[in-house]
Amino acid sequence: MWGTESKHRDYKGLFAANFQQWLTEELGGSAFSTRLLPLLALRHMEMWNERPLAASGYSLDKAFPESEVLKETDLTGVVIAPKCRIGLLDLQEGDIILWGACENAGTCHCFIERNSELYVLLSQYAYVSGTESLRTFRITNNKVIYKWNSLENPKTCSWWRRETANSIVHCLP
């Protein structure tokens, strides 16, 4: 759905005003489609060329200098970054990640690359309850590192809200 929404946002923001005159019943609206679709495809390819997929499946952004990582953690051969692009998913520090049947969640702190493998450091939440459209978690102090490939079907939530006491978070998967 989000891929379609992204294209719809491009249409509304870039093309709608210029193509509205072609929305007619004549020939089933084909004049509109034949003019609009090539431009939408071109826009998609421009965006793809600006941010291609990484050969490894992910790329770290704004990585900390190796010397700083060594000084703070005493680890060598480790890259730590607050942002990561995994496939078409852009993640950063503070994002909430859901995985499994959306009964697991946590807030990202950083992304770690070691031996060409990606890990994520999370503050893990405890599952409280859920319906088809809403998941509720209790915020914990548990910080855990997961190998990214071990997370089953990871995703960001489309909406979230913390309760005022800051102990519960509600998420729309």
Are 14 and 92 found together in one domain? no
Is residue 63 scored above 80 in pLDDT? no
pLDDT value for 87: 77
128: domain range?
A: 58-172
119 pLDDT band, cuts 50/70/90, is very high
The token duo for 63 is: 């990585």
3-state helix, strand, coil in the chain (%, to 5): 35, 40, 25
pLDDT score, position 123? 92
Q: What is the value of pTM for the model shown?
A: 0.68
Q: Are residues 127 and 168 in the same domain?
A: yes
Q: Are residues 165 and 110 in the same domain?
A: yes
In this structure, the answer to whether residues 74 and 134 fall within a common structural domain is yes
93 HSE (CA, 13 A, CB side): 9
pLDDT of residue 54: 63
In this structure, are 42 and 84 located in the same domain? no
State whether residue 26 is helix, strand or coil: helix
103 & 159 share domain: yes
Residues 8 and 76 in one domain: no
Strand partners of residue 165? none
My answer on whether 104 and 163 are in the same domain is yes
CA distances from 114 to 78, 95, 117, 120 (A): 5, 22, 5, 11
Assess whether pLDDT exceeds 60 at residue 2.
no
